[in-house]
Amino acid sequence: MNIHNKLTLTGAATAMMMLVAPMATQAEDVPLAMVAEPGVYKVIAENDEFRVILATWQPGQRDAYHGHPSNVAYRITDCKNQVFKADGTLARPPGEVKAGSVILQKPVKSHSLENISDHVCQVLIVEKK
């Protein structure tokens, strides 16, 4: 394993461990991702404190509107996407996030994500219950 891979894995592990601290629950009363779009969001492990989800979007796939509690998202693949707010407008300009990136998120309100790349996009999400 090269130093970049070690640093990426160390960063992901550190980010996921930060979930141990108390965090707020889901931002609003909207369906959770795996309820709203079980074809994209697959629960691969969970206990009474955490839920681990593998999210997989096919090229051009857009998921149903949903929300998330506080979470850590680790990009398994490069992902170019656009995120829509509940009113249908773009939450931000479309963008690309590189594999190995880690995003720490507070509760996420109702939104929908579309994979605008020409390849599968995968993200590992660890949610605080």
Domain boundaries along the sequence of the chain = 3-128
CATH (one of 3.40.50.1370, 2.60.120.10, 3.40.640.10, 3.40.1390.10) for 3-128: 2.60.120.10
Number of H helices, E strands in the chain: 2, 9
pTM: 0.78
pLDDT number for residue 49: 97
pLDDT, tens digit, 9 for 90 and up, residues 118-127: 999 999 999 9
Tokens at 49, concatenated: 């404190």
Condensed to tens digits (0 to 9), the pLDDT of residues 28-81 reads: 579 999 999 999 999 999 999 999 999 999 999 999 999 999 999 999 999 999
CB atoms within 10 A of CB 22: 7
